[in-house]
Structure 1
Amino acid sequence: VTADDVTTLLTTEIGPYFTHAVDHMAVPDLGALCIAAVFRDTLIEQAEQGIDYFTIHAGVLLRYVPMTAQRMTGIVSRGGSIMAKWCLFHHKENFLYTHFEEICEIMKAYDVTFSLGDGLRPGSVADANDEAQFSELRTLGELAKKAWAHDVQVFIEGPGHVPMHMIKENMDEQIKHCDEAPFYTLGPLVTDISPGYDHFSSGIGAAMIGWFGCAMLCYVTPKEHLGLPNKDDVKQGMITYKIAAHAADLAKGHPGAQIRDNAMSKARFEFRWQDQFNLAIDPDTARAYHDETLPKEGHKVAHFCSMCGPKFCSMKISQEVRDLDAKQIAAIHQADNKSEETKAVEEVRKGMNEMSEQFKRQGSELYSEV
């Protein structure tokens, strides 16, 4: 069963944390001393509002930031870039890392889950699986163990942009270093040349990494890298990722996924159009596309669609072949049955003739003396 999750990445009306971080970035003493306290207070405030999980970029360590200098696209995580700048400006270790035990206590008190953010995830396929990404991943594994020691649930955020041939390595590294903590990924996109269609290229990567063991997929819309999505963009992204998740479930052998596919295939072969629409990921679009060329209600029971028409539908022809084959088999069975009946009659006649000859040899007497 595919569950849905709602996450907000809004930078407006989120309380004082980011405002304080930016305003005091250039004030070394005040920024370094106060930011942890402001973060703690904001964390508690939002936890009391009922937040289920927080994304915390605690794995962006000071020593990892220089590893991104030669990258094609640098640091693309918003939270990761803010933390990297803070660390470099103050030349101090990430306060989320140094105060992680205290953060764990807050998370436990409010039963909030960690989403350990990958602030150094690759922003291009050229940067995938590099030193910075995997160094941070090992640190996230370390932090996951600390959270578990406080009885706090954890999942690990993943990339991003990863070409197809490197996806399995990424998943294997996460499983290895994070002790199989649930992994969730932003795709990954398998190519960088698909603006306007990034939901397609990321859906490919999402299906693959889901097959390899990813626990949650963060959807991408057609507007990715271009602007804020509208509701239609959100719909396109959601549908794409539901397909990707279902494809991954099929590849992993989940029985429920196969049952739905089998039901669709059977409805398709039997021309049960309404069932096909209802079994689809997006019933409204499936119905609209069908009705665009065959709008009449009678077409909903027709044994063809507008692709091949009534004469050349492969499934209709296949059904006719099956029917013809069934008739031929029935005829053969009928002939075989008749042959068996004839053979049985002949055997009876032969037996009766043999008994008649024996009767004659015994003198044709009905009774014999004893």
Structure 2
Amino acid sequence: MTKTIMGIAKSGNTTEEMRRLSEIEGVPVEKIRERIASGRIVIARNIRRESIRTTGIGEGLYTKVNVNIGTSGTLVDIEMERKKAHIAVKYGADTIMDLSTGGNLDEIRRILLKEVEPLPLGTVPVYQAWIEGVKKYGGVSFPSEWFIEIVERQLRDGVDFMTIHSALSLELARKAVASTRIMPIVSRGGAMLAVWMLENNEENPFRQHWDYLLELFREYDAVISIGDSLRPGTIMDQHDELQVTELIEAARQVKQAREHDVQVIVEGPGHMTLDQITSNITLMKKLTNNAPYYVLGPLVTDIAMGYDHIAAAIGGAIAAAHGADFLCYLTPAEHLSLPTIEQVREGLVATRIAAHAGDIVKLGKRAYSRDAELSVFRARLEWDKALEYAFDIEKAREIYTQFPVSTRGCNMCGQYCVFLLLDKLLKKPALKQ
């Protein structure tokens, strides 16, 4: 049997991917190998995809950013989703997820797999299993094996990582719908599974077939992302028994996946107040022995509608600074609509800023060297060089030139720019000492 990258790392051997990741991240290859072997770093890729960028997620690496795209059940515009994929690649996404729920899901996924290259592509297979299962069987009474069939189909296509809602049990689903939560389940995949389990009085299909799932992911050397079906959808429901119980179960599955040399990450909240983010990450890392953590936001307030990308960026920066490894972007359209192409760009840029702000704390000089370089050019009023450091260069240049520029400074301070005022003084050797 062909070894997975985790299995190779466990044997003490080094692959070309490990060497590339070491060069990209500036981390010694020995540390990369050891952390892959222990499950603290994953490389997101399916062995069926050859032209894919080496993307590592986990301990000691730069915080990665994911962009969600895909059709909805009420709006199917494949061309718009293709353009979103191009925007995500252009503006620096590390991974992209296809969350399509409308149209021909196999066709859309295969189109996006080509469009997003060289980035890894993720999916949530329970969406397709539910949507096509209801059509195929005339309701929710379809067999548990159907969910696994969809997973296998997507792995054959080359999907690199998948959200698998395997930590949600039948017992937890019953507790959730009977709970006093304001929003019992806000995960779309979690809700689909809960309805299937409760209607059929059966255990979660991903739990029923867990051993076979591990075999599948081992075969394709893809990454399991354990979904958080019971993440809080409002700050009022944060860190309750349901959320913590699911996290404990996710940690148990992380251990099992590692024993099978399967790469795995864990997904997290969700809506969470500023003061709870650090404790959430500390708990997750302790329970999972530092598995890579993938967080949605977290959103630090519920009332930022239209600006949820900002609420998520605030939470994401704190999460990254304290150990989160992977941020899922949010757009201004979150909770309101399928995002436009422009809103995808806004959400991605905001989340990349959050990831970088967290990395400055988490990684130190390795992360802020570019900030230092930018500051030098800004102090010299060398605008062409300074603008190249922007996360969105076109936007920065557009704003800089939005009014006629008549001095070496910008139009905020004009001729009273501090660097113009101090120019002669700063050139005097005696004053520099």
**TM-score (normalised: structure 2):** 0.70
After superposition, residues 99-118 of structure 1 pair within 5 angstroms as 99-118=209-228
Measure, in 1, the Cα distance between the counterparts of 2:306 and 2:205: 37
Equivalent pairs counted in the alignment come to: 318
Measure, in 2, the Cα distance between the counterparts of 1:246 and 1:323: 33
After superposition, residues 31-50 of structure 1 pair within 5 angstroms as 31=141, 34-50=142-158
Letter in 2 for 1:249: D
Residue 134 of structure 2 corresponds to which residue in structure 1? 22
Show CA shifts across 1:265-320 (max 9, x none): 1111110000111111111111111111135xxx5xx432111121x212323444
Distance 1:179 1:21, change over 3 A: farther
SS of 1:35's equivalent in the other structure is: coil
After superposition, residues 186-225 of structure 1 pair within 5 angstroms as 186-225=296-335
Residue 338 of structure 1 corresponds to which residue in structure 2? none
Larger radius of gyration: 1
SS of 2:258's equivalent in the other structure is: helix
Residue 383 of structure 2 corresponds to which residue in structure 1? 273
After superposition, residues 108-257 of structure 1 pair within 5 angstroms as 108-257=218-367
Distance 1:127 1:328, change over 3 A: closer
Show CA shifts across 1:120-160 (max 9, x none): 11101111111111110110111111111111100111111
Offset at 1:329? 8.0
Letter in 2 for 1:281: F
Offset at 1:169? 1.0
Residue 99 of structure 2 corresponds to which residue in structure 1? 9
Measure, in 2, the Cα distance between the counterparts of 1:21 and 1:290: 53
Identity %: 35
Distance 1:329 1:198, change over 3 A: closer
Measure, in 2, the Cα distance between the counterparts of 1:219 and 1:261: 22
Q: Which moved more, 1:115-124 or 1:248-257?
A: 248-257
Does 2:417 match 1:307? no
SS of 2:97's equivalent in the other structure is: coil
Whether the aligned pair in 1 keeps the contact of 2:265 and 2:294 (CA below 8 Å) is yes
Q: Which moved more, 1:115-124 or 1:94-103?
A: 94-103
Measure, in 2, the Cα distance between the counterparts of 1:133 and 1:274: 49
Distance 1:308 1:63, change over 3 A: same
> Which of 45, 57, 60 is the equivalent residue of 2:165?
57
- Runs (4+) of structure 1 exceeding 6 A deviation are none
CA root-mean-square deviation: 2.0
Residue 261 of structure 1 corresponds to which residue in structure 2? 371
After superposition, residues 340-355 of structure 1 pair within 5 angstroms as none
Letter in 2 for 1:45: R
Distance 1:166 1:329, change over 3 A: closer
Q: Which moved more, 1:247-256 or 1:206-215?
A: 247-256
Measure, in 2, the Cα distance between the counterparts of 1:280 and 1:254: 19
Does 2:200 match 1:90? yes
Residue 122 of structure 2 corresponds to which residue in structure 1? none
Measure, in 2, the Cα distance between the counterparts of 1:143 and 1:35: 23
Offset at 1:328? 6.3
Letter in 1 for 2:134: V
Whether the aligned pair in 1 keeps the contact of 2:254 and 2:288 (CA below 8 Å) is yes
Give the structure with the higher percent helix: 1
Distance 1:37 1:329, change over 3 A: closer
Measure, in 2, the Cα distance between the counterparts of 1:241 and 1:19: 30
Letter in 2 for 1:254: G
Residue 182 of structure 2 corresponds to which residue in structure 1? 72
Distance 1:107 1:271, change over 3 A: same
Show CA shifts across 1:217-275 (max 9, x none): 11000100010011100000110011011101111133232110011111111100001
Whether the aligned pair in 2 keeps the contact of 1:55 and 1:114 (CA below 8 Å) is yes
Whether the aligned pair in 2 keeps the contact of 1:26 and 1:89 (CA below 8 Å) is no
Distance 1:286 1:329, change over 3 A: closer
Offset at 1:21? 4.2
Structure 2 gap segments, 5+ residues each: 1-24, 26-61, 65-93, 107-127
Show CA shifts across 1:160-193 (max 9, x none): 1111000011101110111211000111110011
Measure, in 1, the Cα distance between the counterparts of 2:247 and 2:368: 34
Distance 1:251 1:181, change over 3 A: same
Give the structure with the higher percent strand: 2
The one of the two structures with greater contact order (alpha-carbon pairs below 8 A, sep at least 6) is: 2
Measure, in 2, the Cα distance between the counterparts of 1:78 and 1:106: 24
